Amino acid sequence: MLVKPGPCAWTLTARSTLTVLVLVCLSGCEIFPAPFSRANKYDAPPIRTTAPPLEGDQSRGIGHIERFDLTGRIAIRQATRNDTLQMDWSHWAGSNHIAMRTPLGVQVMRLDEEPGRATLQLPNRDLLEAPSSEPLLNMVLGSGIPLQQLAQWATGEIPSDSSGFSDMGDETRVVQFMQSGWTCSLQNWRVVGGQSLPGLIQINNPSIQIRLVIDRWNLIRGKS
């Protein structure tokens, strides 16, 4: 004799299935060291800034890039960890504002840097402060990330003091060089506002590997 499952049995089965799906989704995303392990939503307070507001896509035209906003995905690989996050980054004149979120949209880090002062906010943690962003990132990642140099690499600027430079053809266009202890690879170039920009940036040193995929640009240019 077959017994038809009651509503409670169906509810328990559905909950169990949902739990398994959530665990599968989360299994590929480790969130850095211990400070990032709890996925609590953090809404950053408003930032006082003198930068002009962005009004639509300003990527057209020529001239030096004075400011960019980008949206992308960043993967950070260390000896025992592999973290994948969504990233929003605004950069101009030595200032950086970065928010990182899990693939499910939970914000796990907010970094705000102005010349001479940087702050880092983690969920349910006291605000960290330092003269620049590099020691703060070193504290949570085990390696400082040179944001000022990364901003130049992201906009396709090849440093004049780099070594080991190579450009592997125009079709696939892979540009590689070394600077300040970092090995950098710029790939997937495409034209944004009349300028070639890399869509994939990979940098590494002996302790960390970083892969940044850029999905969307918003550029503000100065006069040429």
Position 200 in a domain:
yes
Can you tell me which residue has the tokens 């070394």? 178
Q: Does 12 reside within a domain? A: no
CA–CA separation, 119 vs 95, rounded Å? Answer: 12
| C-alpha Rg value of the chain to the nearest Å | 21
How confident is the model over 29-61, as pLDDT tens digits? 444 443 333 333 333 333 333 334 444 444 455
**Distance in angstroms (rounded) separating the CA atoms of residues 38 and 45:** 20
- Quick check: is 18 in a domain? no
The answer on pLDDT for 159 being more than 90 is: no
Q: What percent of the chain has pLDDT over 70?
A: 67
pTM: 0.71
pLDDT, mean over the chain: 74
**Does 205 map to a domain?**
yes
Candidate from 15-24, 157-166, 169-178 with smallest mean pLDDT: 15-24
Question: In sequence order, which residues have a C-beta less than 8 Å from that of residue 154 and are 6 or more positions away?
Answer: 68, 70, 197, 198, 201, 212, 214
**118 falls within a domain:** yes
Across the chain, how many H-helices and E-strands are there? 3, 11
Q: How many domains does the chain have?
A: 1
Range of the domain at 124: 34-221
CATH number of 87's domain: 2.50.20.10
